[in-house]
Structure 1
Amino acid sequence: MRTPILISALASILASGAIQAGGLDRSGQDTSIILKEGGLFELTSVSVAPTLTGTNANLGAGTSDTIDVAPDYSMTTFAMRSDINDKMAIGLVQDNPYGADVSWTNGGLTGTKGRVRSDATTALLGYNVSDAVTVYGGIKNQSISVTASVPLVSNYSLTGSQSSGSGYVVGAAIENPEIALRVALTYHTKITHDMAITESTDALGANRASTMTFDSPEAFNLDFQTGIAANTLLFGSIRRANWTQLAVKPTDYALATGGANLLDYDENTTAYSIGLGRKLNDQWSVAVTYGWESATGEDSGPFGPTDGNSNYGLGVTYNADQLSITAGARSVSFGDTTVVSSGTTFATMEDNTGMVTAVKLAYKF
């Protein structure tokens, strides 16, 4: 039983567009294109609509009210691969691995904003050791930019110019095409960034320049699939990201707060997904997924006001010879949390949701 290619496309699109998942994760750093066959070009567009609302804590300045802190966003990823010979292949992936958009418009955190943007380009080389084993790896260039405002800390603001850093990716897969079995483990190294920043505070002055050093986290992706009946595929993934490696500590923010980090994480995160796909005929395939990330039970900071999530996904693929089109959607429910900053409770976030929609075009050449 050969791998149902259309179902594999559904599996990848339903995993794209992480929505406030573990730390700042967005793309999930998918490198599975290197394990596919032949010449292939993929273009994916993802739209994310989170609804992160909460109730402001009554800090003695009138009654509590509600706030919505997360705007919608979108991203586009590109991937391609081509065979060099019957043993080797090359691949290229461009994605947006991390991101954040948070803006508090009322309550005790009014004016607090955070925005993170990233781009990564990964060049891959795959080698078929045998019909059952493939190894792959490559180099990655990653760029990140940051802006933030924290009025409660001496009217603090930060602008971080785009920084670049490099790392590598390495992985291996075992396969049995007769039962559509594949298990792949991929490791992404942490990447060190030296970012030129400008900070302003009432206490220390405006537009003070310095350099901020931080690491984007290492991560492990485990992806699997297996046929369980004719034209039916069970698939899933586990992603572990070591977010405790990230500590954003701008110079003036640390001085103004007695040494505090602007952003850090007390826990690493693990996200899980499982799905079932069905090839209906040569043109159509469908799939459903369920995913979850366990809550830590800890309070959250103003730049990440969620604690874990669960999500359901549905997708469909239409194949027309060399071109296939895949569309999918995921409904996300976020874990409740309390937003605390500098020991003060500012908001309670409950019953929040989000919607992810994605479209992928794949062209075989």
Structure 2
Amino acid sequence: MNNLRLRALLGAGCFSLALVASAHAGGLERGGYNIDLLFDPAPVVGELSGTYVMPDRKLKNVVDTQTGNGSPGGGNLNGRPNSADETEGYFVPRIGFKASIGQQIDCMADYSQPWGAHTKPGSNWAGANSNIETKINSDNYAATCSYKFDAGKGQLRFIGGVFYQEVDGFKERLVQDTSIFPFPINTLSGVGRLDLAGHGVGWRIGTAYEIPEIAFRASLVYNSAVDLGDITGTLDLSQVPGQPSTPIPVFGNQSMPQSVELKLQSGIAPGWLAFGSVKWVDWSQLGIVSFCSTAIKAAGLSCAYGGPGFATSLDLLYRDGWTVSGGIGHKFNEQWSGGATLTWDRGTTTGLSSLTDTWTVAAGASYTPTKNVEVRFGGAVGILTSGSVGAENDPQGHPHGTDASYTFGNDLVTALSASVKVKW
């Protein structure tokens, strides 16, 4: 197996792994972190890629479990449909540029969207007091470099980098069913909306060992948590009877999770490559994210669930995520190579969301019309496993998820991906 074939297979393997990793993993993961471009042997290379993911989670047997008209409550919604389509499709872009500096240093700059979520069951279902629409967006700007040197039969590489991250989003839910009230109160929607935004800086460190002659690479990379500081936002209850007519400024505190990923790959026969990865993400740090009125900041008070100035919360109660993937790649000729993977992602839900285990199969192909251009495309199909949502207590004993309960079966998730890489 010559070096040219090995390097083409490296690209096919990395493509498949990136495709599967972005196909609806647990927590708030979208594209996650990916520095595979750093290992490209070309002196200068740029890459543009995108993945469109189509989850099809259907909620069933929905029951409004808080039917009072006060707080908690918001009205009896059990006359509304007891099923809903929860998820929305989404697009995950990535842009990267890598350059070699001499024989030992490689540096990469990239833009990605590592985190995100979009659920939109709407207002016409029995669980509208739990969620009408929730959307989280992220933007990540990173710079990563490595230093490599000869060690034994191959090369040892040390990796380090920093990244700046912006996160924003909103949640809407029905606070009060106003249809039971007389005019003009019944002209209000009864919907409350929380808007939020935060930003922070993280860092990464890692190492890798490569033997190019047999396409062997083992890498271990740690990505730090990103402290978003004071997440700022507003709570708009102007459409809820008896609530303030102007948005209430609020703040909260949260970090995006740290992660560790181990990747392995090696040539196993002429024209064949095996690869796999294991990733841990610290999603358990996203528990109950509280938001409080900014008025308490002047008094030097911090925001705590149920404490002074408490306004609302995002109830997540995630557990840590694990993703295990394995696959195989093959070079068919000088222009075509391909790969296929099987991935298991452990669900992060502890009973407050539909983020259960996911099994995904993906396949991709790489076409190289010239030595300077590579085009990749592929698809994935997976199963979102069944489960249920209902009341759960946080570690402090506070109940959450008491507004609605529902179940869901084994649902489908699909994804399409394409990328273009140009080398100089």
State the TM-score, normalizing by the size of structure 2. Answer: 0.79
Taking the TM superposition and a 5 Å limit, the aligned residue runs for 1:85-234 are 85-105=102-122, 106-110=124-128, 112-130=132-150, 131-152=154-175, 155-161=191-197, 163-193=198-228, 194-201=230-237, 202=240, 205=244, 206-234=246-274
**How far off its partner does 1:220 sit?**
0.7
Partner of 1:251: 292
The worse-fitting range, judged by mean Cα deviation, of 58-67 and 108-117 is 58-67
Residue range with higher mean Cα deviation, 146-155 or 127-136: 146-155
Paired residues of 1:244 and 1:264 also in contact (CA < 8 A): no
| Aligned residue number for residue 353 of structure 1 | 412
Deviation at 1:129, TM superposition (A): 2.8
* C-alpha separation in 1, matches of 2:349 and 2:38: 38
Contact 1:20 1:306 in 2 (8 A): no
Tell me if the contact between 1:300 and 1:307 (Cα under 8 Å) persists in the aligned partners: no
Structure 1 residues 101-150: Cα deviation after superposition (integer angstroms, max 9, x where no partner): 01122322225221000010110111003242001111100011011112
My pick for the range that moved more, 57-66 or 244-253, is 57-66
CA drift of 1:7 comes to 2.5
Residue 262 of structure 1: which of 314, 325, 349 is its match?
314
Q: Which residue does the alignment assign to 1:29?
A: 33
SS in 2 for 1:6: helix
Cα separation, 2, equivalents of 1:148 and 1:19 = 23
Cα RMSD after superposing both structures: 2.4
User: Partner letter of residue 87 of structure 1?
Assistant: Q
Change (3 A) 1:27 1:218: same
Cα offsets for 1:333-365 (capped at 9, x unmatched): 101121225335522111211111100101111
Structure 2: segments with no counterpart, 5+ residues: 65-75, 177-189, 294-303, 392-400
**After the TM superposition, which residues 38-53 of structure 1 pair with which residues of structure 2 at under 5 Å, given as runs?**
38-53=43-58
Amino acid corresponding to residue 383 of structure 2 in structure 1 = S
Q: Which residue of 2 aligns with 1:323?
A: 373
1:4 counterpart SS class: helix
Identity %: 21
SS in 1 for 2:31: coil
Q: Please say which structure displays the higher CA radius of gyration.
A: 2
Correspondence 1:279 to 2:315: no
Counting strand residues as a fraction of each chain, which structure ranks higher? 1
**Aligned match of 1:18:** 22
Amino acid at match of 1:126: S
| Structure-2 residue corresponding to 1:299 | 351
CA separation of 1:316/1:339 partners in 2, compared to 1, >3 Å: closer, same or farther? same
Number of the residue aligned with 1:73: 90
- Report if the CA contact (8 A) 1:306-1:349 is conserved: no
Residues 306 and 336, structure 1, Cα contact 8 Å, conserved in 2: no
Count residues in correspondence: 361
2:375 paired with 1:334: no
Quick one: which amino acid aligns to residue 181 of structure 1? F
Contact 1:88 1:126 in 2 (8 A): yes
Give 5+ residue unaligned stretches, structure 1.
Answer: none
TM-score, length basis structure 1: 0.91
Map Cα deviations across residues 261-305 of structure 1 (whole Å, 9 max, x no partner): 41333410101111100001110001111001234684233xxx2
Aligned mates of 1:55, 1:190 — CA distance in 2: 35
How far apart, CA to CA, are the structure 2 residues paired with 1:259 and 1:277?
A: 52
Match of 1:308, as an amino acid? D
Displacement of 1:79 in angstroms is 1.1
Matched residue of 2:126: which SS?
A: helix
Q: Measure, in 1, the Cα distance between the counterparts of 2:251 and 2:312.
A: 17
SS in 1 for 2:390: strand
SS in 1 for 2:30: coil
Which has the higher mean CA deviation after the structures are superposed, 207-216 or 254-263? 254-263
Q: Report deviation, 1:258.
A: 7.7
Secondary structure of 1:251's aligned partner:
strand
User: Are the counterparts in 2 of residues 129 and 135 from structure 1 also a CA contact under 8 Å?
Assistant: no
AA at the equivalent of 2:344? W
